Structure 1
Amino acid sequence: MNKGLALLWAVVGTALLAAISYGMATGSTGMAVLFSVISFFFIGAGFIVKAKQRKRSEQQE
């Protein structure tokens, strides 16, 4: 994964985790659960993208 994409993924992932904290602090259970599910899939998608890019770069060598 290139540095720009990794930085974008890290910033968005951190923002989603901060949104979970905000939802918990305000007592909004639905918001906390929603952002938990979104962050789970977003972080998982990051691992998938990284694995696909690594596999593609290994095939080119």
Structure 2
Amino acid sequence: MSKSLSLLFAVVAVALMVATAFSINTNGWLALSFGILTCMVIVAGFVIKAKQIKKLPNS
């Protein structure tokens, strides 16, 4: 995975974690939504990384 793509996933995941933390105080359902969305972004990062590693030729 390229460094810029890794950075993008990291920044988006951290932003969603911060949004989850702020929304815990105000609305539980919103916090749950942000938490699920955060997990989905993290998993998507791992999936993309695995697919890119799989595409690389064995050398």
Same fold (TM over 0.5): yes
Structure 2 counterpart of 1:24, one-letter code: I
Which 4+ stretches in 1 moved above 4 angstroms? Answer: none
CA distance in 1, matches of 2:22, 2:39: 17
Q: Which runs of 5+ in 1 are unaligned?
A: none
| Overall identity of the aligned pairs, in % | 39
Q: Which runs of 5+ in 2 are unaligned?
A: none
1:35, distance to aligned residue in structure 2 (A):
0.3
What's the TM-score once normalised by structure 2's chain length? 0.91
Structure 1 counterpart of 2:3, one-letter code: K
What's the TM-score once normalised by structure 1's chain length? 0.88
Between Structure 1 and Structure 2, how many residues are aligned? 59
